[in-house]
Structure 1
Amino acid sequence: MFETNNLRLRAVREADFAKLHDLWNDYRIQKTLESEYVVPLGVKFEEKLRSWVKDGFFYAIIETKENSEWAGFINLFNAENKNRAATVSIALLPAFWGQGYATEALRFIVDYSFRELALHRVNLQVLGHNAAAIKLYKKVGFVEEGVQRKAGWSDGKWQDVIWMAMLDEDWAASRKENV
């Protein structure tokens, strides 16, 4: 289990699968995470969740330290051993949006990725109309690397998919600036 100032990042427990399933079934969240159609996700989806947790590189539940409230998840996936790279994904329940929790969890996973896992790069993708997420990623230090124009269908129209990443050298330089 890992702790930050306000959060606990812990391993997934059996009881978490129902909460993860509910989180993914929230329209506001599903449309930002899923590249497939946004539809109600049934029993088969829980099997997919279980395989992601079982086969994933890093998968943690985010909960508050103060009240042990279940807030969401953060994970690293698509790990490339040779290239020392992984993709990050994070989702919080809407009740926890705008409180700094995503920033805190993302900063932890980035630090952990470079300091403990010796990754060279951490990647992510975000839909171009998700201004809050883009602002968060830039705040943490991710850099826009490219745009797939009109590559994602969301909210009834085509959206750009923005590719962002942080390299270990970017992370190291930012730590020196903050010392």
Structure 2
Amino acid sequence: MFETDRLHLRAVREADFEKLVALRNHHRVQKMLSPDFVVPFGIKSEEELRARCSSSLLYVVIETKQNQEFVGFVSLFNAQTKNCDAMVALGLLPEFWGQGFATEVLRFIIDYAFHQLAMHRITLCVYGNNTAAIKVYNKVGFVQEGVQRKANWIDGKWHDVIWMAVLDEDWEDSRQDRADPKI
């Protein structure tokens, strides 16, 4: 189990799949995580989540230290071994948005990826209308690398898909300002 100041990041347990499916089914979360139509997911979603957990480089459940309340998940996936690059995905229940949990989790995961998993870069994509997430990604060191213009249909409008990444050398340069995370 990993920990940050306020959170535990732990391996997925059997009982977590119901919560992970519920998170994926939350309409506010789903439209920010998936390029698909916002529709209720059922048993097939759980099967897909199980496959994603087993194929990811890292897939952990996030819960509060204080009362072990389910917050969400973070994942490193699609790792390119030769290029030392992995994608990151983060999903939090809306009641935990705006409390600094995303920043806390991402700082830990990025540091872990660079120092323990020997990654060179961490990549992500985010929808252009997700301004809160973009602020967090910029805050923790991600840099915009590209834009797919009007590539995702959400709420009756086209939105850009923004590609961002952080490199290990940029991360090292930024570490002087922060305390080392607890691994």
Q: Please report the TM-score for the alignment, with normalisation by the length of structure 1.
A: 0.98
Q: Structure 1 residue 177: deviation in Å?
A: 4.5
- 1:82-123, Cα deviation, whole Å (9 max, x unpaired): 000000000111111111111100110000011111100000
Write out aligned runs for 1:30-179 (5 A).
Answer: 30-178=30-178
Q: Structure 1 residue 13: deviation in Å?
A: 0.1
- 1:107-149, Cα deviation, whole Å (9 max, x unpaired): 1000001111110000000000110000000001100001110
- 1:20-69, Cα deviation, whole Å (9 max, x unpaired): 00000000000011111111111111100000011111000000001111
Q: Which runs of 5+ in 2 are unaligned?
A: none
Which residue type is aligned with residue 66 of structure 1?
Q
Q: Percent identical across equivalent pairs?
A: 61
Q: Secondary structure at the match of 2:5?
A: coil
Distance 2:156 2:108 in 1: 34
Q: Secondary structure at the match of 1:164?
A: strand
Distance 2:98 2:178 in 1: 23
Q: Please report the TM-score for the alignment, with normalisation by the length of structure 2.
A: 0.96
Distance 2:64 2:45 in 1: 26
2:19 corresponds in structure 1 to 19
Distance 1:27 1:7 in 2: 24
Which residue type is aligned with residue 12 of structure 1?
V
Q: Secondary structure at the match of 1:124?
A: strand
Count of residue pairs brought into register by the alignment: 179
Q: Structure 1 residue 176: deviation in Å?
A: 2.9
After alignment, is 84-93 or 169-178 more displaced?
169-178
Q: Secondary structure at the match of 1:82?
A: coil
Which residue type is aligned with residue 147 of structure 2?
V
Distance 1:95 1:177 in 2: 29
Report the RMSD for the aligned CA atoms in angstroms.
Answer: 0.9
Q: Which runs of 5+ in 1 are unaligned?
A: none
Q: Secondary structure at the match of 1:114?
A: helix
Which residue type is aligned with residue 169 of structure 1?
E
Q: Structure 1 residue 178: deviation in Å?
A: 4.2
Distance 2:110 2:70 in 1: 21
Q: Secondary structure at the match of 1:118?
A: coil
